[in-house]
Amino acid sequence: MASDPDSELVAAVARGDHRAARHLVDRHLPRMVAVARRLLGNEAEAEDVAQEVFLRVWKHAAAWQPGAAKFETWMHRVAVNLCYDRLRRRREAPLEVAPEQVSEAPGADQMLEAEDRAAAVSRALADLPERQRAAITLCHFQEMTNIDAAAALEISVEALESLLARGRRALKQSLAGLDPRKPDGE
């Protein structure tokens, strides 16, 4: 396995180096927020999850054992698990307030079409089972390799590929009527 680009930073964080921790945050925060946003569909919750990931980095850096997986893969695993926890709590808690509707402020036609397509993809992604959504998010949106994504999800590469195939089929079916050049498949 190639050397982990974060191993020196993690070792420095384990020694209490605040600058190293800040560097890890700068390097990985956008990806942690992105994976959580895609899994949860909520920016505020995504930021909370990313913050919790970095709190765990700070607390557990000394226990990190390099070599098994890249540190970034471990952080993705933590983020995915935290998202799963939040999604489970959502299912258990009754919804008291309806979610806010996205404002469709006037803008350029192309921007509106892009927003419509992005919303359709987000809805289709949100409708996938958790594990398929996580696999698609890690591989396609986070651009992780199948090996790293499988490690982050703690499954075999074959299981990941199966999740990806099923997820892609479901997305294709959900988005079949959507013409990429026109909103709402007109």
DSSP one-letter string for 81-121: HHHHHHHHHHHHSPP-SPPPPPP-----HHHHHHHHHHHHH
Indicate where the chain has its CATH 1.10.1740.10 domain(s).
1-93
- If DSSP codes are grouped into helix, strand and coil, which group holds residue 165? helix
Residues 48-96 pLDDT 10s: 999 999 999 888 888 877 777 788 888 999 999 999 999 888 877 565 6
Distance CA 135, CA 119 (A): 19
Indicate where the chain has its CATH 1.10.10.10 domain(s).
108-186
Q: What is the CATH number of domain 108-186?
A: 1.10.10.10
pLDDT for 184:
45
Residues 149-164 pLDDT 10s: 999 999 999 999 999 9
Return the number of other C-beta atoms located less than 10 Å from residue 42's C-beta: 15
CATH classification for the domain delimited by 1-93, as one of 2.40.50.100, 1.10.1740.10, 3.30.200.20, 3.30.2010.30: 1.10.1740.10
Question: Nearest to residue 33, comparing CAs of 89, 88, 83?
Answer: 83
139 CA to centre of own chain: 10
